[in-house]
Amino acid sequence: MSNVSIKTLKEVEGLRAAGQMAAETLIAVGEILRPGMTTEDINTFVHEDTVRRGGWPAPLNYHGFPKSVCTSVNDVVCHGIPGPRVLEPGDIINVDVTTIYNGFYGDTSATFYIGKPSNEAKHVTEVSRRCLELGIAQVREGARLGDIGAAIQEFAEGEGCSVVRAFVGHGIGRQFHEPPQVSHVGKRGQGMRLRAGMVFTIEPMINLGGYEVEILDDKWTVLTADRSLSAQFEHQIVVTKNGCEVLTRRSRKLPNSEIFGDVFSIAAAAGTP
């Protein structure tokens, strides 16, 4: 027997409302990003935007986390703490927004481009974006957790990247982190069977170099051990009979992130306009 809760329709409604609120804040963040601003500026914006919408930023004081959002630049894998770091042209930054609304959590993140990226920055970012899409495409009642991890791992490694093991997706509801743990590596046909009404995040962290990570003395900031670039995207989904609903689906394209189109489509590979 599994300890993963099946959400009621009412609970899914609450999680959808929280997810949509987090998604709107993430879009709004994308609009304001520019070189010269600090990650503290992003924190101030996310805090105020979240409160203005009637929500509360879940990261603030979560297990002692000191800020309202995670901002993870370049070789920072996740859990970057906003501060005086100035964004420079060529940087990539993951902004991870989690909103509490009416007691429900909405958790979503994306990697953004500050100015024009290097080929390496673009590659790791677009690979991680595709990894999330491929993971989501595995989800339906009866599929296995391992199907998600396998789809992500096969694609990332085929693109010469690696998948972080030390941090995983998670169930979510009236609590930030619930069972199950959603590994972004795995084997098809293995792991827990998915059931309609399960709600969890998929949030692959993809590195240009090795998958090993290091945690800074601040106890939060996670870095790639080899200081290679890392990128991440996160959605929160509810499993349905025939697939899933993305509770953090966006109402429009993400500014400063969804700017290259589908770089992995056959047409793009062939160089067709």
Chain positions contacting ligand MF3, by CB under 6 A: 59, 62-63, 65, 70, 79, 96, 98, 107, 170, 201, 203, 234
Cβ closest to Co ion, residue 114 vs residue 168: 168
Instruction: Please report whether residue 71 would count as binding Co ion according to CB under 5 A.
Output: no
| Closer Cβ to ligand MF3, 33 or 77, answer by number | 77
CA dihedral sign, ordered 46, 47, 52, 58:
positive
Q: Which is nearer to ligand MF3, 108 or 228 (CB)?
A: 108
* Residue 248 makes contact with Co ion by CB under 5 A: no
Q: Which pair of structure tokens corresponds to residue 168?
A: 């995983």
Using rule CB under 5 A, residue 178 touches Co ion: no
Q: Please identify, using beta-carbon distances, which residue of 49 and 107 lies nearer to Co ion.
A: 107
What DSSP state is assigned to residue 44?
H
Q: Smallest distance from the beta carbon of 5 to Co ion, in angstroms?
A: 17
6 neighbors 198 (Cβ within 8 angstroms): yes
Identify whether the C-beta of residue 78 lies closer than 8 Å to the C-beta of residue 65.
Answer: no
Indicate the Cα dihedral angle 57, 255, 126, 268, nearest 10°: 160
Answer with the entry of Co ion, ligand MF3, none that 62 interacts with (C-beta below 5 to 8 A by kind): ligand MF3
201 binds Co ion (CB under 5 A): yes
Cα 48 to Cα 55: distance, rounded to the nearest angstrom: 10
Q: Helix or strand or coil: residue 257? A: coil
- State the minimum distance, in angstroms, from the CB of residue 50 to ligand MF3: 13
The contact pattern for Co ion, residues 104-123, with x = CB under 5 A and - = no contact, is ---x-x--------------
Closest CA to 162 of 229, 111, 210: 210
Which of the listed partners (Co ion, ligand MF3, none) does 59 bind, with a CB threshold of 5 to 8 Å by partner kind? ligand MF3
Cis peptide bond N-terminal to 180, omega within 30: yes
Residue 131: CB minimum distance to ligand MF3, A: 15
Least spacing, CB of residue 189 vs Co ion, in Å = 25
Please state, in angstroms and rounded to a whole number, the distance separating the CA atoms of residues 137 and 108. 17
Nearest to 151 by CA among 166, 131, 127: 131
Nearer to Co ion, 79 or 144 (CB): 79
Do you know the residue count of the chain? 273
Q: Which is nearer to Co ion, 58 or 159 (CB)?
A: 58
- The distance of closest approach from Cβ of residue 1 to ligand MF3 in the complex, given in angstroms and rounded to an integer, is 25
Alpha-carbon distances, residue 251 vs 19, 27, 70, 225, 269 (angstroms): 12, 9, 22, 36, 28
Binding site residues, Co ion, CB under 5 A = 96, 107, 109, 201, 234
